[in-house]
Amino acid sequence: MSENSTPSPKEIADQLKKRVIGQTEALQEMSIALSKKLAGLSVGNLLMIGSSGTGKTTVMRAVEGYLAARPHLALRSTVVRMHANVLGEEAVKGHSGEAVLRRLLDRAREQLGPETGVETLLSQAQNGIVFVDEVDKIRSHISGEPHTTGIRAQEALLTLIENEAVPFTLPAWAGGKMLTVDSSGILFVCGGAFEGLYDSVFDRVTVGKDRGALKPVTTVEDGMVTEKLVFQLRDWLKSEDLFDYGMSPQFLSRFDAVVLLADLTVDELIRIFLETPDSGYQQARSFFESRGMHLVLSPDAVRRVATEAARENRLGARALKEVFRRVIRHFEFDPKPNGPDGSLLLDLQEVEEALRPG
């Protein structure tokens, strides 16, 4: 591809897939947004909602990694990633949206070099991408009480999103002057787990305001007729549920797309376990290699780890590490090969033994 052409959404997604397993819809939306952004077009902001450990932060990091590996693209759009909490703290101190712009400007300076003119740096910052992680932490109320940091942080973001005239004081290194900047070209991608949202929407459509909306489906299993409620958040989530959660209507209206990340399947967990570079499995392999040993897990052993992890659905893929620690701890403590050529072979039996309670 030539330096001047813009990668298509599909080309971008194919690269992001090397880091993110599953989550096809989120990768599609993200790739479309990024492709448009890199082409200099205007792009709607994106909100990603998904349970903890389903890959929200991983998607953001994959985009950062994608750009970092392609300097000619990275120069077209400066990226910063921040925790919504930090934004909340800054908002309370009164810096509001300025802190975000400052970060973009600093990052642009790192990218383009300190000798670059302020005008150039500003235009770079005004076309940046801002990832706001854990955006659910800036809800406007928590258990019925107003949450000031959250309210202020949402307001701070509102001053930036789609705003053509944001008052901004340049940092000292840039002269400290006050000016107005157009931040409407910044792409915001926010992500959060919104814990409790699933339950509150389920309640709304079963016993709450819209009681009876979710109808039981009749299934026949082993000759028995049973009625089941099949609930998927994506089928029922409405803007009001997010307002009730504590995201203000004004704030939400700034997002063109809300993407729900799916809970990971056992097969996806297996792929995350085997293929991602920082997985517990890869870390253990490196450890055994450093001791001159080769770790081999049978497919049944791997599936057993993933199945156990899938049971802890509040942790998502993070459960893989925790489960695998329990399995591998004992072998790492006193590494002894049990197979040919210094290999350590773990089969279903070893995993079962390690996971047995007590």
Ligand X SMILES: Nc1ncnc2c1ncn2[C@@H]1O[C@H](COP(=O)(O)OP(=O)(O)O)[C@@H](O)[C@H]1O
Q: Which residues bind ligand X (CB under 6 A)?
A: 20-23, 50, 52-58, 272, 276, 278, 316-318
Q: Which residue, 135 or 186, is less far from Mg ion as judged by CB?
A: 135
Q: Which is nearer to ligand X, 53 or 185 (CB)?
A: 53
Rounded to whole angstroms, how far apart are CA atoms 335 and 330?
8
Give whichever of 124 and 279 is closer to ligand X, judged by the CB atom: 279
Task: Quote the least distance from Cβ 74 to ligand X, whole Å.
Answer: 21
Among ligand X, Mg ion, none, partner that 145 touches (CB below 5 to 8 angstroms by kind): none
97 binds, among Mg ion, ligand X, none (CB under 5 to 8 A by kind): none
Distance CA 21, CA 316 (A): 13
* Closest distance to Mg ion from the beta carbon of 133 (Å): 6
The backbone region for 347, taken as left when phi is positive above 0, alpha when psi lies in -120 to 50, beta otherwise, is beta
- Nearer of residues 45 and 58 to Mg ion, judged by Cβ: 58
- By CB neighbour count within 10 A (0-12 exposed, 13-18 middle, 19+ buried), where does 178 fall? exposed
Query: What φ, ψ does residue 188 adopt, rounded to 5°?
Result: -105, 130
Q: Nearest distance from residue 53's CB to ligand X, in Å? A: 5
Q: Which does 298 bind (CB under 5 to 8 A by kind): Mg ion, ligand X, none?
A: none
**Pick 115 or 278: Cβ nearer Mg ion:** 278
Q: Is 12 helix (H, G, I), strand (E, B) or coil?
A: helix
Report, in Å, the least distance between residue 50 CB and Mg ion: 9
CA 83 – CA 81 distance, rounded (Å):
7
The entry of Mg ion, ligand X, none near residue 20 (CB within 5 to 8 angstroms by kind) is ligand X
Least distance to Mg ion from the beta carbon of 197, Å? 15
CA distances from 354 to 29, 161, 272 (A): 41, 51, 21
- Amino acid identity of 211? R
Task: Specify whether the CB–CB gap between 317 and 55 falls below 8 A.
Answer: yes
- Tell me the β-bridge partners of 255: 45
Residue nearest to ligand X (CB): 55
Parallel, antiparallel, or unpaired for β 224-228 and 217-221? antiparallel
Task: Find residue 146's DSSP bridge partners.
Answer: 141
State the residues that interact with Mg ion by CB under 5 A. 56-57
The item of ligand X, Mg ion, none sharing an interface with residue 55, based on CB under 5 to 8 Å by kind, is: ligand X
The entry of Mg ion, ligand X, none near residue 214 (CB within 5 to 8 angstroms by kind) is none
Residue placing its CB nearer to Mg ion in the complex, 125 or 317: 317
- Residue 257's closest CA among 22, 13, 43, 12? 43
Closest-by-Cβ residue to Mg ion is 57
State the nearest-atom distance from the C-beta of 310 to ligand X, in Å: 13
